[in-house]
């Protein structure tokens, strides 16, 4: 690790190389598939998409080189055509190179399979052309935008190409700060504990975040794994199927795979003998004449008991209930004034503007005592108090509305006056 990184004793390094056979595991990345790379806890695989774009991709290469970290790059065919030297730099630095379509369409989940195939084939051809060496391109592929589609994945699998999703993202294509990229990468890694991280080497914020990410990976004890495809000379790293699951079932965690009910219970078809009355748990405390048994009981030869063996409940007499339950006091049904206001306000629609002049209050009408004293005070002694009082006799809510309406009108009037003056 550090020893393998001359001149950088504190480097993160690459802890091991994992050789995978795409034909055995054609779809990986738990963001979309059941399987992911067979990583140990605290092992991370770095992937970079969409390059090469010289300025940023070269900086990413320099940062990775300074830490002796090997990654996988998913290059876009059009970018490889524009910057073939950039693709060769990836190879020369010892990274794995996968394909990422020709034009990076974000609609592979919707486009006709024929067009998707064309994108895949053209992208692979462009990267191979840039490398000048077919074997230098790994049979790894990432669908742009992770817009997966069964037809696309099936085609890739038929070509012996492994479809790579991811286990976690750092959202580095979004308009966020580089420190946010760092935060998301570390936070999500802490949640998954290991996995494939998807980054973009064309993004300046990724370039800015990467040194801190690598430093923190080292500080927190994470290890980098470099993934390469199996060849005739280099066979796949031996693995167990459950290692390809991010969270394989554990013996200490309860799972809902219940054992199947065996068939032997239903295998015997011979009728069982009817139980004797003396075998029953309630036994025979009730002498049962045979004549009283039901037809069903007769047929089976097991007469039912005349009476249920469990105790009966004592019926409640209505007159006893009346005595036992006192009539509720009238105070139970009294409503608090504040609650009455709220109910009245909620149940009545807004009343029309005040039309009536001062009139005598109807007999029995009273101002309802409440904590709206402040409202009353604002109109105390003014002619319209009577109107307010009248309204409040039947509807306290309406009274509040009137105050508001009146105040609003006064305010409006003032605005109009001011405007007139200013004009």
Judged by beta carbon, residue 144 or residue 398, the one nearer Zn ion is 144
- Residue 35 within binding range of Zn ion, rule CB under 5 A: no
Query: In the complex with Zn ion, which residue's Cβ is closer, 35 or 50?
Result: 50
Among the residue ranges 13-21, 42-50, 216-224, 340-348, the one whose residues contact Zn ion (CB under 5 A)? 42-50
Binders of Zn ion among residues 254 to 283 (CB under 5 A) are none
SS (H, E, C) the chain: CHHHCCCCCCCCCCCEEEEECCCCCCEECCCCCCCCCCCCCCEEEEEEECCCCHHHHHHHHHHHHHCCCCCEEEECHHHHHHCHHHHHHHHHCCCEEEECCCCCCCCCCCCCHHHHHHHHHHHHHHHHHHHCCHHHCCCEECCHHHCCCHHHHHHHHHCCCEEECCCEECCCCCCCCHHHHHHHHHHHHHHHCCEEEEEECCCHHHHHHHHHHHHHHHHCCCEEEEEEECCCCCCCCCCCHHHHCCCCCCCCCCCCCCCCCCCHHHHCCCCCCCCCHHHCCCCCCCCCCHHHCCHHHHHHCCCCCCCCCCCCCCCCCHHHHHHHCCCCCHHHHCCCHHHHHHHHHHHCCCCCCCCCCCCCCCCCCCCCCCCCHHHHHHHCCCCCHHHHHHHHHHCHHHHHHHHHHHHHHHHHHHHHHHHHHHC
Query: Whats the size of the chain, residue-wise?
Result: 423
- The angle formed by the CA atoms of residues 127, 131 and 134, to the nearest 5 degrees, is 80
Shorter beta-carbon distance to Zn ion: residue 49 or 167: 49
- Rounded least distance, CB 258 to Zn ion, Å: 43
Residue number with CB closer to Zn ion (5 or 199): 199
Tokens for 77?
């065919």
- Whichever of 110 and 299 has its CB closer to Zn ion, that residue is 110
Q: Binding Zn ion by CB under 5 A: which of 11, 25, 48, 49?
A: 49
Shortest Å distance, C-beta 236 to Zn ion: 27
Nearer to Zn ion, 101 or 293 (CB): 101
**CB closer to Zn ion, 68 vs 108:** 108
Nearest-approach distance from CB 262 to Zn ion, in angstroms: 52
Q: Which of 35, 50, 119, 201 binds Zn ion (CB under 5 A)?
A: 50
Cβ distance to Zn ion smaller for residue 185 or 400: 185
- Which of 2-10, 46-54, 108-116, 257-265 is the region at the interface with Zn ion (rule: CB under 5 A)? 46-54
Our CA angle for 414, 416, 421, nearest 5°, is 95
Nearest distance from C-beta of residue 230 to Zn ion, angstroms: 25
Under the binding rule (CB under 5 A), the answer on residue 52 touching Zn ion is no
Min dist CB 156 to Zn ion, Å, is 16
Give the total of residues touching Zn ion (CB under 5 A): 3
The least CB distance from residue 50 to Zn ion, in Å, is 4
CB of 46 to Zn ion, least distance (A): 15
Residue pair 30/168 in contact (Cβ under 8 Å)? The answer is: no
Piece in contact with Zn ion (CB under 5 A), picked from 44-52, 112-120, 233-241, 330-338: 44-52
Q: Least CB distance from residue 100 to Zn ion, whole Å?
A: 6
Site for Zn ion in 135-174 (CB under 5 A): 144
Nearer to Zn ion, 106 or 415 (CB): 106
Give the nearest distance from C-beta 173 to Zn ion in angstroms: 8
What does the binding site for Zn ion look like in residue numbers (CB under 5 A)?
Answer: 49-50, 144
């Amino acid at each position: 690790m550090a020893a393998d990184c001359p001149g950088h004793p504190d480097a993160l390094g690459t802890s091991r190389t994992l050789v995978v056979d795409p034909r055995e595991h054609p779809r990986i990345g738990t963001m979309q598939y059941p399987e992911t790379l067979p990583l140990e806890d605290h092992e991370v695989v770095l992937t970079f998409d969409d390059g090469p774009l010289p300025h940023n991709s070269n900086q990413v290469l320099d940062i990775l080189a300074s830490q002796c970290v090997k990654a996988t790059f998913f290059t876009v065919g059009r970018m490889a055509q524009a910057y073939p030297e950039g693709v060769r730099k990836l190879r020369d630095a010892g990274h794995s190179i996968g394909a990422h379509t020709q034009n990076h369409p974000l609609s592979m989940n919707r486009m006709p399979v024929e067009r998707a195939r064309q994108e895949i084939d053209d992208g692979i051809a462009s990267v191979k052309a840039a490398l000048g060496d077919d074997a230098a391109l790994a049979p790894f592929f990432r669908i742009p935008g992770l817009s997966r589609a069964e037809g696309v994945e099936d085609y890739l699998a038929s070509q012996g190409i492994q479809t790579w999703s991811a286990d976690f993202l750092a959202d580095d294509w979004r308009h966020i700060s580089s420190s946010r990229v760092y935060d998301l990468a570390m936070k999500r890694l802490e949640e998954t504990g290991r996995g494939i991280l998807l980054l973009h080497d064309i993004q300046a914020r990724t370039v800015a975040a990467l040194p801190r990410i690598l430093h923190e990976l080292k500080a927190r004890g994470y290890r980098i794994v470099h993934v390469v495809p199996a060849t005739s000379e280099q066979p796949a790293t031996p693995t167990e199927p459950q290692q390809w699951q991010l969270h394989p079932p554990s013996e200490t965690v309860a799972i809902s795979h219940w054992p199947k009910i065996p068939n032997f219970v239903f295998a015997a078809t011979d009728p069982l003998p009817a139980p004797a009355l003396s075998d029953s748990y309630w036994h025979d405390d009730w002498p049962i004449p045979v004549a009283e048994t039901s037809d069903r009981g007769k047929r089976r030869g097991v007469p039912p008991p005349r009476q249920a063996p469990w105790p009966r409940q004592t019926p409640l007499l209505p007159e006893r209930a009346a005595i036992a339950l006192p009539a509720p006091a009238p105070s139970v049904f009294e409503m608090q004034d504040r609650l009455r206001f709220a109910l009245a306000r909620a149940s009545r629609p807004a009343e029309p503007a005040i039309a009536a002049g001062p009139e005598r209050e109807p007999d029995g009408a009273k101002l309802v005592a409440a904590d709206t004293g402040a409202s009353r005070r604002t109109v105390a002694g003014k002619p319209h108090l009577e109107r307010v009082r009248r309204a409040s006799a039947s509807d306290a809510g309406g009274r509040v509305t009137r105050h508001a309406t009146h105040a609003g009108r006064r305010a409006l009037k003032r605005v109009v006056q001011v405007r007139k003056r200013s004009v």
